[in-house]
Amino acid sequence: MSLRVGSPVAGRVVALSAVPDQVFAEAMVGPGVAVEPIRSKADVVSPLDGTVVTLHPHAFVVANADGAAILVHLGIDTVKRKGEGFELHVVKGEQVQAGQKIVTWDPAEVEAAGFAPICPVVALDASAEVLGDLALDADVVAGDALFDWSR
């Protein structure tokens, strides 16, 4: 079984190691990729079918019935924005489908406020070997495949 993980945002896919945050760059919470988002207001969508198990304005986790959990973090240190500029469209515990709108934000606004808007997309607690077909250096739109997760 392989789980296709879609991009939550439009932009350029880069290696997780390019993220200016040690926790993500060193894959401490799991492997994945990051997306350098297009700098305009946009909807962020779920990377997979599942349940919203954690929800903050600036980050969320969607887990499927198999227990595969994907973390999407919208920008670095954006917890300090305290929700400003993030408009949520779901509640914690809600069932969502891949491609469903989760939150609306503006990466340009985040950047103007002094934060890196790059978006880590992490397969929580996975080992690096189980991720394949990473779309590194590709330009993607929201919903395009980022990687496959062998389950």
Partner 1 sequence: MADEKAQKILEALGGRDNIIEIEPCITRLRCELEDGSVVDEKALKALGAHGVMRSGNVVQVVVGPEADTIASDIEDLL
Selected binder of partner 1 within 16, 61, 103, 140 (CB under 8 A): 61
Query: Per DSSP, what are the bridge partners of residue 5?
Result: 147
Site string for partner 1, 105-124 (x = CB under 8 A): -------------------x
Which window, 12-20, 48-56, 106-114, 132-140, contacts partner 1 (CB under 8 A)?
Answer: 48-56
Alpha helix positions (H), the chain: 22-25, 107-112
Residues 6+ apart with CB under 8 A from 62: 46, 47, 48, 50, 51, 52, 53, 69, 70, 72, 96, 102
Which window, 6-14, 25-33, 41-49, 93-101, contacts partner 1 (CB under 8 A)?
Answer: 25-33
Residue 79: DSSP 8-state? G
Tokens of 127: 């080992």
Catalytic residue flag (residue 73): yes
Q: Which is nearer to partner 1, 13 or 126 (CB)?
A: 126
Task: Report the nearest approach of partner 1 to the CB of residue 106 (Å).
Answer: 20
Contact 122, 47 (CB under 8 A): no
* Count of residues in contact with partner 1, rule CB under 8 A: 16
Annotated catalytic residues are 73
